[in-house]
Amino acid sequence: MKKIITIIAISVAIFSCKKEITTPNSGTYRGVFEMAGLNGSGYETGLCTIAMSEESRSFVLSVDTAATAPYFCAGNYKITSGTTMTFSSEHLAPINGDQNIILDSIYNYTFDNLSFTLTKVVNTIQYDYRFVRY
């Protein structure tokens, strides 16, 4: 009986020590992009999907063609700290378009292996991507 209780206690300890995943990993995530003026001006939104490869540190951001934001892009990413990521896109925004509506620069992130958010603020505009694992 002591052996069974010991095995159960060890099993509970192992399962309760399961490490939480907070670093973005490979997968496909679907979500929404939102751009909003912090002073109440302007608002853009669009559906998007990001495919990420942890091995090659690459990404592809696909967008809903009916939306005006964000723009399609692909490139590489680097995790610069536990809360920030730097994206380097191989694509540029159109000349007359908002260059910040492309996934290319430093973003704050949160990740819990199911949901994935990216946020940055430039002047008075906040850019958000909110994804869920697909």
Tokens 């430039």 belong to residue: 122
pLDDT digits (tens, 9 = 90+) for 58-95: 999 999 888 778 999 999 999 998 899 999 999 888 77
pLDDT of residue 12: 47
Give the list of residues 6+ apart from residue 15 with CB closer than 8 angstroms, or none: none
Comparing 56 with 91, the larger pLDDT belongs to: 56
pLDDT reported for residue 98: 78
- Run of H or E including 4: helix 2-16
User: If pLDDT is split at 50, 70 and 90, which confidence band does 2 have?
Assistant: low
- Helix (H) or strand (E) segment spanning residue 34: strand 27-37
Tens digits of per-residue pLDDT, 5-47? 545 545 544 445 556 778 889 999 999 999 998 887 778 899 9
Statement: residue 131 has pLDDT above 90: yes
Distances (CA, A) of 40 to 10, 43, 45, 50, 125: 55, 9, 15, 28, 9
pLDDT band at 115 (very low <50, low <70, confident <90, very high): very high
Smallest Cα–Cα separation from 68: which of 41, 93, 39, 88? 93
Q: What is the pLDDT of residue 67?
A: 78
Q: 134: exposed, middle or buried (C-beta count within 10 Å: 0-12, 13-18, 19+)? A: exposed
**Confidence (pLDDT) at 65:** 81
CATH class assigned to 23-133: mainly beta
Q: What is the pLDDT of residue 111?
A: 94
